[in-house]
């Protein structure tokens, strides 16, 4: 067995490793049909659970946007009952963004070095479920700030942890679609959030609790109840999966070794860490994801508010947020499949983000009373911003400078979500409501077009790198994904 392979599986108990054949010796035996069947088997065990728990994650993260306006006509909204202003609301989301950015990298480091993925992700899930439940009983701004900060701390490492887990199981050309399947759950979460918000709106003052409190309590309880599914049902590494045969384990290892991928607990060199954090191309990846996430966070936190400005009451506005999110989910899967199928992530992301920018630009130019047209723009935006996210995440994992910094790259990329959250919460001021939020629309249009320009530049860069035979941080010639 090669040294690299030994490093990949050194975390597993020796008794379990002794049964795994040498992947190099069996590499020729794995034909395309065998690999396809194996990939489907992995999909069935891993993808539904990952998508479901990320749906819960995004649901609990974005429900504050639903609670913000729920039952405001009767004076029972989240802001009204906690005596918060819209500026206070933006401050709360900013605190969350700070925590989310700071604790991304430490969380993934813990998962890489010390704790099984299933145990660590299950622990994070339990923590944010309890905190979300507690959110149903907040009375004032200080309590809201404290709880929201803690939610940011525990949620920070969840999505990059899932992305890191996916790299243990799938090759580069398989990742975008799988990450899309998980990330697209955010779109479904937006849809479910609208449905739940609509339903609990009618529970306002039931048992003495406002509708927004029922929203947090119900969603928190659902998350807590589902924690055992993660701890006992989420696969960790191929080498310890009891539902895989020895040959299947060896096949997975062989495919990942061929791309210098897979799980390792080896320490990265200073050069590898430096290149992962600071080289221009990696910074470009992170910045492109940041600019796109400004749009995503705007939709997550302010879609109910934006829809409410189109003439709908607060409860109806919850329901009207559902269709754009559902359309975004469908398009997300289609775009990710195409990006992987043609191995062309850059051009797919460029087209999607340009579409999103066009949607926001149209919102800027349409008259304030053009309600139907402005609502249609939400579909255009949802078909651009959400679908572009997963190929971008997959792209980073494909082109990370070293296998040993895979978790660091995923965490660095996701840390920009917190920064984007801070930006997005301040570009939709209440003072812009009467003018239909020109600041938010202009900033989001600009961010979308910036993303388009960056990914086109990266696409050109990687094409040239492949022609030149550029080496990675370990001095190995790679085929760079573009």
Structure tokens, 234? 């989420």
Distance CA 114, CA 426 (A): 38
Q: Which domains does the chain have, with CATH numbers?
A: 22-468 (1.20.1250.20)
> Residue 109: what pLDDT?
82
Distance CA 142, CA 52 (A): 32
Comparing 141-150, 311-320, 353-362, 414-423, the range with the smallest average pLDDT is 311-320
pLDDT-derived band at 324, boundaries 50, 70, 90: confident
Whether residue 295 is predicted with pLDDT greater than 50 in this model: the reply is: yes
Comparing 80-84, 438-442, 452-456, 468-472, the range with the smallest average pLDDT is 468-472
**Ramachandran area for residue 262 (φ above 0: left; ψ -120 to 50: alpha; else beta):** left
- Note whether 33 and 214 are within 8 A (CB): no
In the predicted model, what is the mean pLDDT of residues 457-470? 90
Kindly provide the b/e burial profile for residues 409-420, where b requires at least 16 CB atoms within 10 angstroms of the residue's own CB.
Answer: bbbbbbbbbbbb
Residues 6 or more apart whose CB falls under 8 angstroms from that of 54 comprise 158, 159, 162, 182, 183, 185, 186, 189
Distance CA 347, CA 345 (A): 6
pLDDT-derived band at 313, boundaries 50, 70, 90: low
Mean confidence (pLDDT) of the chain: 81
64 burial type by CB count under 10 A (0-12 exposed, 13-18 middle, 19+ buried): buried
* Cα–Cα distances in angstroms (integers) from residue 108 to residues 53, 128, 161, 276, in the given order: 17, 17, 6, 15
Q: For residue range 104-160, what is the model confidence (pLDDT) as tens digits?
A: 888 878 887 788 889 999 999 999 999 999 988 988 899 999 999 999 899 888 888
Residues 6 or more apart whose CB falls under 8 angstroms from that of 28 comprise none
- Note whether 347 and 457 are within 8 A (CB): no
Whether residue 358 is predicted with pLDDT greater than 80 in this model: the reply is: yes
pLDDT-derived band at 426, boundaries 50, 70, 90: confident
> Residue 315: what pLDDT?
60
> Residue 70: what pLDDT?
72
Distance CA 285, CA 268 (A): 20
- Note whether 150 and 132 are within 8 A (CB): no
Better pLDDT: 22 or 457: 457
Q: For residue range 207-250, what is the model confidence (pLDDT) as tens digits?
A: 878 878 898 898 899 999 999 999 999 988 888 888 998 888 88
Q: For residue range 181-197, what is the model confidence (pLDDT) as tens digits?
A: 887 776 676 667 777 77
Whether residue 329 is predicted with pLDDT greater than 70 in this model: the reply is: yes
> Residue 170: what pLDDT?
86
Q: For residue range 32-62, what is the model confidence (pLDDT) as tens digits?
A: 888 889 999 999 999 999 989 988 888 877 7
Q: For residue range 158-167, what is the model confidence (pLDDT) as tens digits?
A: 888 888 888 8
In the predicted model, what is the mean pLDDT of residues 450-458? 96
Whether residue 304 is predicted with pLDDT greater than 70 in this model: the reply is: no
> Residue 270: what pLDDT?
83
Better pLDDT: 125 or 17: 125
Whether residue 445 is predicted with pLDDT greater than 90 in this model: the reply is: yes
The number of beta carbons lying within 10 Å of the beta carbon of residue 28 is 8
């Amino acid at each position: 067995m090669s040294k690299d392979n030994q490093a990949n599986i050194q975390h597993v108990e020796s008794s379990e490793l002794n049964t795994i054949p040498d992947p190099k010796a069996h590499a020729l035996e794995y034909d395309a049909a065998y690999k396809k069947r194996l990939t489907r088997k992995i999909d069935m065990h891993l993808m539904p659970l990952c998508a479901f728990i990320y749906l819960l994650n995004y649901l609990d993260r974005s429900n504050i946007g639903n609670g913000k306006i729920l039952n405001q006509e009767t004076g029972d909204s989240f802001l009204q009952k906690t005596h918060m202003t819209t500026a206070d609301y933006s401050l709360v989301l900013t605190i969350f963004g700070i925590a989310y950015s700071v604790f991304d990298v430490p969380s993934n480091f813990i998962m890489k070095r010390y704790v099984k993925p299933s145990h660590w992700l299950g622990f994070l899930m339990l923590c944010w479920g309890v905190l979300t439940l507690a959110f149903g009983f907040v009375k004032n701004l200080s309590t809201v700030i404290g709880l929201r900060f803690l939610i940011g701390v525990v949620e920070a490492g969840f999505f990059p942890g899932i992305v890191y887990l996916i790299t243990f199981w799938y090759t580069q050309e398989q990742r975008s679609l799988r990450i899309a399947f998980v990330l697209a759950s955010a779109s479904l979460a937006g849809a479910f959030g609208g449905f739940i918000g609509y339903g609990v709106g009618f529970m306002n003052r039931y048992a003495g609790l406002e509708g927004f409190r029922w929203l947090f309590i119900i969603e928190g309880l659902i998350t807590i109840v589902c924690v055992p599914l993660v701890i006992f049902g989420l696969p960790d590494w191929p080498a310890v999966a009891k539902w895989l045969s020895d040959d299947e384990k060896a096949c997975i290892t062989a495919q990942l070794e061929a791309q210098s991928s897979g799980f390792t607990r080896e320490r990265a060199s200073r050069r590898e860490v430096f290149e992962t954090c600071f080289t221009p191309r990696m910074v470009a990846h992170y910045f492109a994801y940041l600019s796109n996430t400004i749009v995503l966070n705007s939709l997550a936190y302010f879609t109910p508010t934006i829809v409410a400005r189109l003439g709908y009451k607060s409860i109806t506005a919850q329901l009207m947020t559902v269709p754009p999110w559902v359309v975004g989910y469908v398009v997300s899967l289609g775009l990710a499949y195409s990006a992987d199928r043609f191995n062309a992530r850059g051009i797919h992301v460029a087209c999607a983000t340009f579409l999103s920018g066009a949607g926001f630009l149209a919102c800027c130019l349409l008259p304030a009373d053009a309600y139907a047209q402005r609502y249609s723009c939400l579909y255009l935006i949802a078909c651009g911003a959400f679908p572009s996210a997963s190929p971008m995440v997959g792209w980073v994992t494909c082109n990370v400078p070293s296998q040993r910094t895979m978790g660091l790259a995923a965490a660095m990329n996701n840390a920009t979500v917190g920064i984007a959250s801070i930006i997005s919460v301040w570009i939709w001021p209440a003072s812009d409501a009467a003018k239909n939020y020109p600041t938010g629309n202009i900033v989001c249009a600009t961010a979308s077009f910036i993303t388009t320009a960056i990914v086109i530049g990266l696409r050109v860069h990687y094409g040239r790198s492949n022609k030149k035979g550029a080496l990675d941080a370990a001095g190995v010639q790679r085929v760079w994904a573009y």
